[in-house]
Amino acid sequence: MLNEARVSFDGMNYVVGVFTDRQGIAIQFIPDSKTLDKFSKNEQVDKIMDKLKKGMPDFASTLWFESGNVAAGLVFRVNTYDLGDIIAKAIK
């Protein structure tokens, strides 16, 4: 994992990290045990995406949830083509 931070919102607690593998860039949200007990995976994904859409709408539009990933927690992939377009638009 390249870096990690702790975040809490809506009664959920995560360690968030960014990693790269042969498939590209990914953001990983590893929930604590209380979050796992209280919220389904779908609820967690929805709340994470809602938070990202509110705080970072352009970046959130580049993410998609990778449901079959074997890594711990919830993994969101970054569509680097979309990210490149967003960066180019921001610089122009």
- pLDDT per residue over 37-89, tens digit each? 999 999 999 999 999 999 999 999 999 999 988 888 999 999 999 999 999 99
Which residue's entry shows tokens 């122009």?
92
- What is the C-alpha separation between 49 and 63, in angstroms, rounded? 9
Domain residue ranges in the chain: 3-91
pLDDT value, residue 88: 94
Nearest to 4 by CA among 71, 85, 61: 71
Note the pLDDT of residue 58: 95
